[in-house]
Amino acid sequence: MQFPNAILAEYTFSEIKSIFVMQGFAGLSLFSVLLLMALGLAIIFGQMGVVNLAHGEFMALGAYMVYLCSQITADHFPAFQPYYFILAIGVAFVVAALLGAFVEWSMIRFLYKRPLDTLLATWGLSLIMQQAFRSIFGAREVTPTLPEWLMGSFKPTETIDIPINGVFVMGLSLLLTLGIYIFMFRSRTGLHMRATVQNRTMSGAVGINTGLVDRFTFAMGCGIAGVAGAAFTTIGSTGPDSGSRYIVDTFLVVVFGGAGSMLGTIVSSFGIAQAQSVSEFFLEGTMGKVATLMAIVVILMFRPQGLFPSKVRS
């Protein structure tokens, strides 16, 4: 293994500065990726307590929707090419949310009292969705044709190179976080959602249709996963199993942040992303990821409630 000092010694000072800027940016874009993935789960798992192991597949669904939109645009409306991506994000949200509502109606609502069984059932769902993607879109990874404005990179100086798609994903995740915050804490539906999570019986007693709220919440979480998947198409290609690759990371982000805490999710995805991108610079290959995950699990053993535990008794 090469030692970092030896690596650093080969560069000049300004080059080192550029490395730090770009490495920092890599950490930031990993942060926005993790945050995007975790936001939907923070609602489904953090708020509702449903362990949705098919969350990754809902992201893949969103990504495939963008691919589908891109194909349709290229075949039928070539003039629409520069703008389709924005519409595709909306399609990804709606399709993933509709499927989420259906899954809640047909499966999840019977299992709220049996969390461990939910876990197995949603794992089964994820297998079925993966195979469905494989049968419909093929086993190979696909990439949508991205509009021109998402390509290329900023070059503030000679040596610094910041890709535009990274900035786009970052902007989208910040926008989405803000949107969810406003929705959850400033709207009437958000109030109903929080009330149902905190005290289901009492919420029902004051006239909230808790069954409907559950379905809506679950669908919204799935829709957000779909948007996350749509955002990913700007960074990497999509395969049938690309969702399942991230599922553990996503759950760890939510658990580490403290289930039920939006702020915790943000802070923990920031911390995990920075730790991972730094350790990947120093350690080789997958070991950076192993070290980061191991650190999280060890911290969770000492502090199982996560960074920002919710104060509500269960």
Partner 1 sequence: MKKFYENVLGGRSGSIGIIILSILLFAILPLALDAFRLNLVGKYLTYAFVAVGLVLLWGNSGVLSLGQGIFFGLGGYCMAMFLKLEASSVENTKIQSTPGIPDFMDWNQLTHLPAMWVPFKHFPFALLAVVLVPALVALIVGAAMFKRRVGGVYFAVITQALALILSLGIDGNQGLTGGRNGITDLRTLLGWDIRTQTAQYVLYFTCCALLIGAILVSRLVLSTRMGRLLLAMKDKEDRVRFSGYDVASFKVFVFCLAAAMSGVGGALFVLQVGFISPSLVGIVPSIEMVIFAAMGGKHSLLGAVYGTLLVNTGKSLFSENFPQLWLFAMGGLFIAVVMLFPDGLAGIYESVRTRFFSKGTKEKATDKVPAVNAAASVALAETGGKS
Residues within the interface to partner 1 (CB under 8 A): 49, 51, 107, 110-111, 114-121, 123-132, 134-135, 248, 251-252, 255, 284-287, 289-290, 293-294, 296-297, 300-302, 304
User: Cβ of residue 272: shortest distance to partner 1, in angstroms?
Assistant: 12
Structure tokens at 252: 């760890």
Closer residue to partner 1, CB minimum distance, 54 or 225: 54
- Which is nearer to partner 1, 7 or 294 (by Cβ)? 294
C-alpha of 162 from chain center: 22
- C-beta closer to partner 1: residue 85 or 218: 218
- Residue 168's alpha-carbon distances to 149, 161, 164, in angstroms, are 10, 15, 6
Give the integer Cα–Cα distance in Å for 300 and 314. Answer: 19
Report CA Rg, the chain: 20
Minimum CB distance to partner 1, residue 48 (Å): 12
Task: Specify the residue, 132 or 150, whose C-beta has the smaller distance to partner 1.
Answer: 132
CB 213 to partner 1: min, Å: 21
Pick the closer one to partner 1 by CB: 79 or 301.
301
| Four-point Cα dihedral 47, 49, 52, 58, nearest 10 | -10
CB of 58 to partner 1, least distance (A): 15
Shortest separation between residue 189's beta carbon and partner 1, angstroms: 26
135 exposure class (CB count in 10 Å sphere: 0-12, 13-18, 19+): exposed
Closer residue to partner 1 in complex, CB, 220/253: 253
Token pair in block for residue 37: 């993935």
Query: Are 201 and 187 spatial neighbours (Cβ–Cβ below 8 Å)?
Result: no
Closest CB to partner 1 among 128 and 174?
128
Residue 154: φ, ψ to 5°:
-80, 145
Q: Which is nearer to partner 1, 76 or 313 (CB)?
A: 313
Tell me whether residue 132 or residue 160 sits nearer to partner 1 (CB atom). 132
CB of 134: closest distance to partner 1 in angstroms? 8
Which pair of tokens denotes residue 68?
């589908």
In angstroms, what is the minimal distance from the CB of 128 to partner 1?
Answer: 4
Judged by phi (left if over 0) then psi (alpha if -120 to 50, else beta), residue 62 lies in alpha
Residue 299: CB minimum distance to partner 1, A: 11
Classify each residue of 40-69 as buried b or exposed e, where b means 16 or more C-beta atoms within 10 Å of its C-beta. Answer: bbbbbbbbbebbbbbbbbbbbbbbbbbbbb
The C-alpha angle with vertex 273 and arms to 301 and 170, in degrees rounded to 5, equals 140
Q: What is the 3-state secondary structure (H, E, C) of 125-148?
A: HHHHHHHHHHHHHCCCCECCCCCH
